[in-house]
Amino acid sequence: MENQQFHTLLNAIENKEAVLGVVGLGYVGLPLAVEMVNQGFTVIGIDLDASKVESIYQGDSYIHDISSDELKKVMQSGRFQPTTDYSMLRVIDALSICVPTPLSENQDPDTSYIETVVDQIKLHMKPGMLITLESTTYPGTTEELIQQQLDKIGQEAGKDYFLCFSPERVDPSNGRFTTFNTPKVIGGTTEACLKLGTALYGKYVETVVPVSSPKVAEMSKLLENTFRSVNIAFVNEMAMMCDRMGIDIWEVIDAAATKPFGFMPFYPGPGIGGHCIPLDPMYLSWKAKGFRFYSKFIELAQSTNDNMPYYVLNKTSTILNEYAKSVRKSNILLLGMSYKPNIADLRESPGLEVYELFKESGANVSYYDPHADSFQDKHGETVYSEVFNLEQFKKYDCIVLITNHSDLPYFDIAEMGVPILDTRNAFRSYTHPHIYKIGHSVQHPVLEPSEALLV
């Protein structure tokens, strides 16, 4: 329904006079708020973490993709106001919800953060507000947790307020694709909602992709990440198979990738990490069960990926056996701990599970990560990164590479002579006999193709 509130908000968006709001100033919300400000909007950012709000005021960025210099520039514009006060919703014309959606201990979706925001919206919502949920969750969340709740207080979507879902597509540390140039899918609960949402995102996102409903938009995000989870699981299983057969999975993938059509390379590793890939498929599996549909692919992929840290432990044990040592009482150094290269993000990192498994096996395990200074183990104890020192690193019985950071001195580490288990093929340029890798049996030395021809 294109009523007066619709036209008032549309005009405010077109003229960049609308006050925008972002709830949740984490790795999704803060870059989004910064892009909004950069495109000329006034933005209010709400986060209950007072330390984040204070850091923003100080121009001290805690997000890898937003530099402190950029944040200071945004604050100097006078158009960004971070706060912990939800009552500021009363002056916001268009609100983006970017709060976490973790899994419970039972692997069920935990939507409590969204529910908290909705409770505050019910108390402080400005009439005619556009609400867009960006948090990744199961199909139906937008209608069930927002629309139905606002229905209970007499607020009708498309008339009294406007409601959309647009899944975040943030890829931390990706220098090529940013908030601005990553296409944005959006679905509205009514045609008027979709028009407003498309108009708004079109002001600070290069390409907006409208779809017929919030459920389609919600499902699209789950398809994207479930696709990755399933394919990573398949190649992880192939890596274990190749290990058993004495074939190098990395060479196999490189060879297959020369086919210019019909093949997309995925690579094995110690497991999957980050907020999206380990969690999103489980949202979908949980929702599907409500329709008496059981996804064997999703469950099997999750099981395979969850098993990779155990494979890393067993592989390390096999390597140590070559040196007449056992995991128990051995000194193990994990190289890298974040879930992907060149960032400090430890969310769901497989390295955390690998660390715990070595501890439980009686190893003396430490880690070094140039980006992640510390983490909390499962007992709540703080574990600090070792200081980089090649002489000290020589004392370890085995080094297990978890994260292939680009700023690690691979040559110097390779030259130490300490046995290395490479889970990312980061040492592919080195043929030292003490360097082993997943997806390749210990009994077979690592040879370059040119050397293999001479054998």
**Per-residue pLDDT at 171:** 86
Q: Judge whether 307 lies within some domain.
A: yes
Helix, strand, coil in percent for the chain, rounding step 5? 40, 15, 45
Note down the domain range covering 202. 4-212
| Same domain flag for 263 and 390 | yes
CATH code for the domain of 125: 3.40.50.720
The structure tokens 């995000």 sit at 221
* Percent of the chain's residues with pLDDT above 70: 97
Q: What's the sign of the alpha-carbon dihedral 429, 343, 109, 187?
A: negative
Asked whether residue 200 falls in the same domain as residue 243, the answer is no
Mean pLDDT by 10 residues, the chain (455 residues): 92 98 96 96 98 96 93 97 98 98 89 98 98 97 98 97 96 85 97 98 96 98 97 98 96 98 98 93 95 96 97 98 97 98 95 98 98 96 97 97 97 97 96 94 52 38
Q: Looking at the structure, do residues 50 and 81 belong to the same domain, yes or no? A: yes
Residue 428 identity: R
Shared domain check, 170 and 31: yes
Residue 12 lies in a domain: yes
Residues 6+ apart with CB under 8 A from 70: 34, 61
Q: Are residues 261 and 403 in the same domain?
A: yes
Q: Report d(CA 183, CA 164) in Å as an integer.
A: 16
User: Coil, strand, or helix at residue 191?
Assistant: helix
Residue 224 is assigned to a structural domain of this protein: no
Domain identity same for 316 and 412 = yes
Q: How many distinct structural domains can be found in the chain?
A: 2
Asked whether the CA dihedral 418, 421, 422, 428 is positive or negative, the reply is: positive
Question: For residue 78, is it left (φ>0), alpha (ψ between -120 and 50) or beta?
Answer: left
Specify the pLDDT at position 1. Answer: 67
What whole-number distance in Å separates Cα of residue 266 and Cα of residue 278? 16
| Domain assignment of residue 196, yes or no | yes
Say whether both 165 and 243 belong to one domain. no
Assess whether 250 and 183 both reside in one domain: no
Is residue 277 included in any domain, yes or no?
A: yes
Asked whether residue 336 is assigned to any structural domain, the reply reads yes
Statement to judge: residues 286 and 167 lie in one domain: no
For position 416, what pLDDT does the model report? 96
Residues 4, 8: Cα–Cα separation, whole Å: 6
β-pairing, 162-165 with 364-368? unpaired
Active site residues: 276
Q: Are residues 408 and 361 in the same domain?
A: yes
Q: Are residues 247 and 316 in the same domain?
A: yes
Pairing state between β 162-165 and 184-188: antiparallel
Which of 159, 180, 212 is the last residue in one of the domains?
212
